[in-house]
Structure 1
Amino acid sequence: MEFSILPGVVSAVDKVLATAQNGLEVLRLGGLDTGTKPTPFQVVETENMFRLRRYFPEDPGTGPHVILVPPPMVSANVYDVTEQYGAVSILHSAGIIPWVIDFGSPDREEGGTERTITDHVKAISRVIDIVRETTGRDVHLGGYSQGGMFSYQTAAYRRSAGIVSIITYGSPVDMLGALPLGLPANIVAPGAEFMADKVFSHLSLPGWMARTGFQLLDPVKTAKSRLDFLRNLHDRDALLPREDQRRFLEADGWVAYSGPAIADLLRQFVVHNRMVSGGFVIDGDLVSLAEITCPVLAFVGEADDIGQPKAVRGILRAASSANVYESRLPVGHFGLVVGSKAGTNTWPRTAEWINWQSGDGESPSEIEPMREVDDSGKPGGGVSLSSRVTHGLGAVADAGTAAVGEVFDAASSLQRTSLAVAQESVRTVPRLFRLGQIQPGTRISLGKLMSENNKRTKDSELFLFENRVLSHEQVNTRIDNVVAGLISCGIRPGQHIGVLMDTRPSALVVVAALSRVGAVAVMLSGEWNLSEMLRLAESRVIITDPSHLDQAAEHSKQVLVLGGGSGDSRAIAKADGHNIIDMEQIDPDAVTIPTWYRPDPGLAGDLAFILFTRAGGKLSKWPITNHRFAMSAFGAASAAGLSSSDTVYCLPPLHHASGLLTTLGATVAGRSRIALSNGVDAETFTTEVHRYGVTVVSYTWSMMREIIRSPRFSINNHNPIRLFMGSGMTAGLWEEVLDSFPSAKVLEFFATADGSAILANVRGDKLGSMGRALPETNPVQIAAVDPRQEALEVGENGYVRRADVDEVGILLSRARQRFESSSTVLRDVFTSHDRWELSGHLFKQDADGDYWYMGTASAIVRSSDAYIFIPPIEDALSRVKAVDQVVAYSVGTPGNQIAIAAVTARAGEEVDTTKADSITVTQLRTALGTLPAKQRPHLITLVDDIPVSESYRPLWVEMAKRGVPAPGPRVWYRDAEGRYRRYTKTAAAELNWG
């Protein structure tokens, strides 16, 4: 009897045997032997940070050269994983000479675990120089994932020198725009900051952990890949084509990642997202991707959950000076560079791009200019559900999953919105709470706030100036050194010390050092009478910089010089009879610190600064207590929503309230960076906005006019500015700023001299409005005024009447802090036992509760038939497109004054009624049409120039000195109906205003 074995049994036995045999090989060797060999290369240069590979060294080649950069935690072999689909082989076959940077594994390199982003960027820059010197040709620079980020950063660092083009593969730029797994930025950013400061600054990432982290970012694909491998373990022929790729991902492809480099990545490019905004730091230099000028090609993985499409496309906004292209593939992160689709798409397209950019080929059909894509409706930064399913991530999904996903997306959106509100509250509420808790005996001052910030984030950047970066720790050390110098020069707490310096880091350090000692900084202006300021402030000592030394020595017998150089590089002239000390020559370590010294002793009620104002040509001192400083600092920081991610660009001089209180104070309170400019210049502004990553610009008066109306002004709409904050901007200039910066808002502040009232137009939706009182500052009210008596109007109940809606009255602020009231305090005003400070400023309140500034009580025009308010006139005329500057003022004696508005024409404009775009009487009349006839100026005159102060405030006093304009074709007068007519000699004789 014969027995036969069923075919199915034989097949099953064969599978078992094959599985056992292949499994044993995997266990013994780590994988199946594919028989493939690495592509030949030669290490042509070895340095501490890298080994430079030149592939196919036997082939001299005549084509273009490309340098490929791997991510720091991935082996350089990522460009040669498979023989058939490897990058270097495909590029070489297209006539391109590939070079690959091998960073090695940091845990095996000397000093490797201490590497930073700067080390990687400088290494790549060094490689570019080596290849260029060797070949005599510029190079193309390409990078995968963070290797692409390095490529962008290197190109920006070099200002594109020596680089023909940049090619990146799944390299995110807008890190917070789309994080892996759709994680919300407002959750990730604080966690990333903690990890950067507390974990990775001390700990590196081993290779196995880097591999595990990468796999966890795409757990479904990882599990599916392993399951497929096990299910096909019996079929060697099916496994071999993907075996090299599998082994690379599962074991061979991963290296350690330096902790400081991770911390740098998290801090600069995740927490602060400075790949987009600019202002990141490489080797102490400020760098912006906006300075990339060579063409860029970004490969976008439509199913990439790590380098998500929205994050990758951030390069379009960041590199605003470059021509940016993209090529899309239906793959995930790793599939962009390794595998069959990379071999048939990515690398052939890369070769076409390189040859095209080198002038040796046609424009590739699968590469197109990158355009703005609205990814707002897609979860995960633009990775669509269909892309995920195609890629295999949705293999377990069924028809009902899509509906559930929509509900989940809606819930996630709501959650993100709630978290955004919560985060803003977390940032703002503590500031306001601290502000509300300040009492006369509370220790608070500029010096103390800077000390606190140094303890929190000593390594973070604080001052940016002339492309230099100073950290909190560096600035704090400098402050302490200057403190030692001040003490050695006899400066003591409470002493009034004049400060006459340009707005430079040394000036800010001096002000902070005086605060730390407990002295009073008297902020002097070089354009005003120094002797008068010193007399009013009771100051005999001036701290100055070398550029103001002669001016300071002319008005003070004791002058301390700081900044502008040190050591033997300069010689400070010693005038006869003067005590001039070069503080840069003082060795702080040699100074004996006295026992009375206590750092940052200032209490809320103590005098901290003295500023100066000039009203009607009269100079007055403006005392600022520590409480007043804190109110402005915390209030402005909260209103502007400042955080450590912001860079505030300071245009106003430090002796102006906007420079000292709004800018410096708010920056310190918000723990932001402060960028200082050498002056108001359109070209400098454009360059520094991008290079510093400026998000907030502080201004005063007509300062922005010098920038946006300059013929040299040009800025891309993708600039990082989100806010302009300051005071004194006219409605017309405000409108033009918003037109020039569509993504920004204007935050206009108003504050009384003693700080009892602080208003801010936080919403920014009403041009010209001062908004409302900031939270935790004094409440305000408008008291009605009796125009006949020019006094507060008392109602029938005996109390002062509150002004009605749109009625002009005097602004009062509730008197809370008795210890610093420097203005008139009234009692029993609106109710029994209430206390209000009289401001002397006129306001009206609209139906929405917003306040509108109407000028000071002293500047009101008292004509024979009406009171005329200056600010509404200036706002109205400023909105005439042909008008450049405007200032309104009065001439004559009270009761018989006339209101005059002077305007200048924009460059190229003429007074010609036949031209629609010139200044015409019709345009002026139309602009003033919203004002009642009697509230319009009596005369409008076109002048050649309007002088402005150092803070760009139009000097109406200088204009008033010119008297009533002479009759002529450039002057118009208001008739009885409120219309404007030519001011002729006949009209002048009839009106008799001269």
Structure 2
Amino acid sequence: MVTDSLLPVAAAGVGSFIGSMYVDSRLLLSRDFHQIKAGAAAQIYHKLWTFQDKLHYYYRFKERAKADPNHVFVLFEGKPYTFRHLEKASNRLAHWLLAQNVKPKDIVCMMHQNHPTFFISLLAISKIGAVPSLINNNLADDPLLHCVKIAEAKVFLFDPVYEQQVATIIDRAAGVQFYAYGEATETADIDVALCPAVTPKVLQPYSDRDTDEKYLKGVGNSDAAFLIYTSGTTGMPKAAVSQHSRVNFGMLMYSGVTGVTKEDRVYCVLPLYHSSGLIVSCSVTLQSGGTIVLGRKFSARRFWNDCVDYKVTVFTYIGEFCRYLLSQPSHPEERNHNVRLVYGNGMRPDVWNRFRDRFGIPRICEFYAATEAPTSLFNVNTGHFGAGAVGHRGFMFRAIRRELKLIKIDPITEEPLRLPNGHCVECQFGEQGELVVRMDPDNAVQFDGYYKNKEATDKKILKNAFEKDDAYFRSGDLLKLDKDGFFYFGDRVGDTFRWKSENVATTEVAQAVGLYPGITEANVYGALVPHHDGRCGVSAVSLQPGKELDFKDLYNYLSRKLPKYAIPVFIRIVPAMEMTGTFKHQKVEYRNQGIDLEKVPKEQPMYWLRGNTYVPFTLDDLKSIDDGKVKL
């Protein structure tokens, strides 16, 4: 009797369970819930820290250092740096900075390599309420001077390894005090010819006790934690403001979504001067209580040895990083590691599953974000479903959060298409459009513009998009959303070009070209051609050692993979691809050189499509085009 009475209940429970599984499989609710839960936690802590007046980024380090002082936060080339070590070293440097009359809100430029002294400098500047301005360590001359001037910095700290680069500006940077502090000065009393060095002897008189907490108080939503510079591929670098609230929110959200834990060792070889290294890799590790295994720079040869030797469980990637690893010969340690998770942005769809299968990494978390953007997308992926997507927001997530929209863009003017009522045109599922984000002054994550650059800031804000006086952040990226809620990256606005009255997405073409046997990398761009409308496709390619292209077979392959208008008209052979400091392809210089053989280096031969194959492109051929004798 009891058994009989329980049957309906059991049946209802099973039915409910099966039903819930069915609903989840259709609507992907568990994916949404995972992200919503992480976002809710980030919002709660943001409000709590605001109420406690502990919004300052340094509190996140301080709390960890006091709670677990002997925990190794940074492991660098086998040398451990505990929270206590970093705290005391940064305290001493902070007291020295105060003696140099550095005050709260002052900007202090720092130009450092991937080394623990980066963290000591950053923490020292932060804990006295000043703002670190993170200088790209590849810069020199006018671009470097530009970064210092727009920051209006009082003090410039630099690692002595960059002495020659700093020497190109020191006489022109009026009112800036330059000091050498970095790896060489950390434990040795050395002299630097260019300027004073901050050595152990210089720092010895200063206390290693905590600085006054008053420097951390009164921080609001829009107050800058750091200035992080854009790559400057389209002009001089712009200083993006990374607010304390943004960094805190990012730490919480990313650690919650990725699942990085206190037991993890996170390998970071991304540049610390960029948000991918400092915030996405290291600050997320700080939030989780894990350990950063810090590398000086990416080395495909050494990568898997480091993962095994330092017991790495997680690593972060960006741009073409994963393609580089995939293009290497088989390594004896490439499956002898304990890496359970990789996360980052820029893993191409054609790399995704090959990367996971070859290296035996079960979990890939791709995200979409920008240093200054007021939102992020995440795709936590463990299989083929959703592989290649830069983010996911299912039905439930999109119903709750409506700040993201994809809008149609004119590829020529690069401006949004408008309806007769002046509103933007929202894309349907499967249609490519620019991602825009509604700007809400109540959000924890804000776009407060580029530092002292109103013109660049105004270009990123779209007004009256869907109603009067609204404002949206323009990402400059073209994405597609499918019916399952997966977002796929298409191209940068400006990279997509028009040819034969059709829009050509460079990313899609590059993926097809890059999979051809013998090709290591492909970088596709549009080039102006005299007497032709639009731009024709050019693919710069680098080849595997000892490989040569069968151009007829290459064309046959591309004709199967791409519509005719998207097949590159020109192929340019390059020894290695020009990259930014964050492993992204440089397109601007290639695009400016176009098909002009007077500008293209002679050691980089060009070929053009004639019939069903590619043949060498010569100066005589260029003249024929210039004279209007040849139509492409």
Q: TM-score if structure 1 supplies the norm length?
A: 0.51
Matches within 5 A, 1:520-599: 520-528=131-139, 529-556=143-170, 558-565=177-184, 569-575=188-194, 578=195, 580-582=197-199, 585-587=202-204, 589-590=206-207, 597-599=214-216
Report the CA distance shift for 1:637/1:777 in structure 2 as closer, same or farther (over 3 A): farther
Corresponding residue to 2:536 among 886, 898, 906: 898
- Report what 2:575 is aligned to: 944
| Matched residue SS, 1:812 | strand
1:671 alignment partner AA: G
| Higher RCO (CA < 8 A, seq sep 6+) | 2
Report the CA distance shift for 1:922/1:473 in structure 2 as closer, same or farther (over 3 A): same
What CA distance in whole angstroms lies between the structure 1 residues aligned with 2:86 and 2:617?
62
Query: Any idea what the Cα deviations from partners look like across 1:450-498, whole Å, max 9, x if unmatched?
Result: 1122233333221111112222233222232222222222222111111
Identity %: 18
What CA distance in whole angstroms lies between the structure 1 residues aligned with 2:162 and 2:413?
48
- Report what 2:223 is aligned to: 606
What CA distance in whole angstroms lies between the structure 2 residues aligned with 1:993 and 1:548?
50
What CA distance in whole angstroms lies between the structure 1 residues aligned with 2:112 and 2:555?
41
Report the CA distance shift for 1:481/1:439 in structure 2 as closer, same or farther (over 3 A): closer
Corresponding residue to 1:730 among 341, 348, 354: 348
What CA distance in whole angstroms lies between the structure 1 residues aligned with 2:313 and 2:218?
33
Q: Does 1:457 align with 2:68?
A: yes
What CA distance in whole angstroms lies between the structure 2 residues aligned with 1:855 and 1:646?
34
- Higher Rg of the two aligned structures: 1
Q: Does 1:629 align with 2:247?
A: yes
Report the CA distance shift for 1:427/1:720 in structure 2 as closer, same or farther (over 3 A): farther
| Matched residue SS, 2:381 | coil
Q: Contact 1:428–1:641 at 8 Å: present in 2 too? A: no
What CA distance in whole angstroms lies between the structure 2 residues aligned with 1:436 and 1:816?
16
2:544 alignment partner AA: R
Query: Any idea what the Cα deviations from partners look like across 1:261-320, whole Å, max 9, x if unmatched?
Result: xxxxxxxxxxxxxxxxxxxxxxxxxxxxxxxxxxxxxxxxxxxxxxxxxxxxxxxxxxxx
Deviation at 1:875, TM superposition (A): 2.2
Deviation at 1:558, TM superposition (A): 1.9
Query: Any idea what the Cα deviations from partners look like across 1:3-56, whole Å, max 9, x if unmatched?
Result: xxxxxxxxxxxxxxxxxxxxxxxxxxxxxxxxxxxxxxxxxxxxxxxxxxxxxx
Deviation at 1:436, TM superposition (A): 6.2
Deviation at 1:500, TM superposition (A): 0.9
What CA distance in whole angstroms lies between the structure 1 residues aligned with 2:496 and 2:440?
29
| Matched residue SS, 1:858 | coil
What CA distance in whole angstroms lies between the structure 2 residues aligned with 1:425 and 1:753?
20
Matches within 5 A, 1:116-265: none
Q: Does 1:620 align with 2:244?
A: no
Query: Any idea what the Cα deviations from partners look like across 1:208-235, whole Å, max 9, x if unmatched?
Result: xxxxxxxxxxxxxxxxxxxxxxxxxxxx
- Report what 1:870 is aligned to: 506
CA RMSD of aligned residues (A): 3.9
Report the CA distance shift for 1:584/1:438 in structure 2 as closer, same or farther (over 3 A): farther
Q: Alignment length, in residue pairs? A: 566
What CA distance in whole angstroms lies between the structure 1 residues aligned with 2:108 and 2:571?
44
Corresponding residue to 1:935 among 550, 556, 566: 566
2:183 alignment partner AA: G
What CA distance in whole angstroms lies between the structure 2 residues aligned with 1:793 and 1:440?
40
Corresponding residue to 2:282 among 664, 672, 679: 664
Report the CA distance shift for 1:684/1:785 in structure 2 as closer, same or farther (over 3 A): closer
Report the CA distance shift for 1:647/1:901 in structure 2 as closer, same or farther (over 3 A): same
Q: Contact 1:730–1:875 at 8 Å: present in 2 too? A: yes
- Report what 1:640 is aligned to: 258
| Matched residue SS, 1:799 | coil
Q: Does 1:751 align with 2:362?
A: no
What CA distance in whole angstroms lies between the structure 2 residues aligned with 1:733 and 1:713?
18
- Report what 1:302 is aligned to: none
Report the CA distance shift for 1:683/1:904 in structure 2 as closer, same or farther (over 3 A): closer
Query: Any idea what the Cα deviations from partners look like across 1:614-669, whole Å, max 9, x if unmatched?
Result: 23354322222222223332232223111111111001111122112211221122
What CA distance in whole angstroms lies between the structure 1 residues aligned with 2:268 and 2:201?
25
Matches within 5 A, 1:268-283: none
| Matched residue SS, 1:547 | helix
- Report what 2:12 is aligned to: none
Deviation at 1:754, TM superposition (A): 1.7
What CA distance in whole angstroms lies between the structure 2 residues aligned with 1:454 and 1:470?
12
What CA distance in whole angstroms lies between the structure 2 residues aligned with 1:761 and 1:476?
35
Q: Does 1:922 align with 2:553?
A: yes
Query: Any idea what the Cα deviations from partners look like across 1:235-272, whole Å, max 9, x if unmatched?
Result: xxxxxxxxxxxxxxxxxxxxxxxxxxxxxxxxxxxxxx
Q: Does 1:779 align with 2:437?
A: no
Query: Any idea what the Cα deviations from partners look like across 1:756-783, whole Å, max 9, x if unmatched?
Result: 1312222264444211369798831101
Gaps of 5+ in 2: 1-17, 22-29, 171-175, 450-456
- Residues 815-824 or 537-546, more deviating: 815-824
What CA distance in whole angstroms lies between the structure 2 residues aligned with 1:564 and 1:647?
23
- Report what 2:495 is aligned to: 859
| Matched residue SS, 2:380 | coil
Q: Contact 1:680–1:707 at 8 Å: present in 2 too? A: no
- Report what 1:907 is aligned to: 545
Report the CA distance shift for 1:943/1:830 in structure 2 as closer, same or farther (over 3 A): same
Report the CA distance shift for 1:959/1:993 in structure 2 as closer, same or farther (over 3 A): farther
2:297 alignment partner AA: G
Q: Contact 1:498–1:524 at 8 Å: present in 2 too? A: yes
- Report what 1:166 is aligned to: none
Deviation at 1:568, TM superposition (A): 8.2
Corresponding residue to 2:299 among 672, 681, 684: 681
What CA distance in whole angstroms lies between the structure 2 residues aligned with 1:649 and 1:602?
31
Deviation at 1:507, TM superposition (A): 0.4
Corresponding residue to 1:791 among 415, 428, 445: 415
- Residues 748-757 or 706-715, more deviating: 706-715
1:688 alignment partner AA: D
What CA distance in whole angstroms lies between the structure 1 residues aligned with 2:206 and 2:416?
60
What CA distance in whole angstroms lies between the structure 2 residues aligned with 1:711 and 1:654?
28
Q: Contact 2:180–2:192 at 8 Å: present in 1 too? A: no
| Matched residue SS, 1:645 | coil
- Report what 2:11 is aligned to: none
- Report what 2:390 is aligned to: 770
Query: Any idea what the Cα deviations from partners look like across 1:842-900, whole Å, max 9, x if unmatched?
Result: 22222322222222223332446333222222222222342112212233389532221
What CA distance in whole angstroms lies between the structure 1 residues aligned with 2:346 and 2:124?
30
2:42 alignment partner AA: L
